[in-house]
Amino acid sequence: MLDLYGPKFYPANKTTVAERYDWAKAWLEGQVGHPRFRQHFAVHETEAWLLSEPKLLPGVVSKALPGKCNQPESVNFNEPPAKLLERLYKEKLGKPYKKLIDGADLFAQLSPDVAQQKCPSLGRLLQDMLSLAQAASS
């Protein structure tokens, strides 16, 4: 799994989440060329999954989230979820958002069911993993 936000290899005309996801998935799977290889992306870093449950965030941060966070994977590339949390933690709490500390603590409380409902790419990853596990056990 890669983060969709990080790589810089997208063609210039691939600007939306869906365009980048579909193109990069097909391109990487084509590069590997093996039928058992499946590429998945974390759309906008794992922090998108954290935004799926705003009640886990500190109250002042949660209240400051823009409405577009109802669908965390639709947040744009200009201020993806990790950058948004960095800004809001600094503005509202006067301290930095620490991915390895704050993110890990929040992630431990996250409901996978809620996250996959609000983050379709995560849902596809989890469904693919479940399908592979079920196929391997039969």
User: Per-residue pLDDT tens for 33-89?
Assistant: 998 899 888 777 788 899 999 999 999 999 999 876 788 887 777 788 889 999 999
What are the boundaries of each domain within the chain? 1-138
Q: Which residue reads 């823009």 in tokens? A: 66
Q: What one-character DSSP code corresponds to residue 44?
A: T
Is the Cβ–Cβ distance between 73 and 59 less than 8 Å?
Answer: no
Is the Cβ–Cβ distance between 124 and 40 less than 8 Å?
Answer: yes
Q: What pTM did the predictor assign?
A: 0.78
73 phi/psi in degrees, rounded to 5: -75, -5
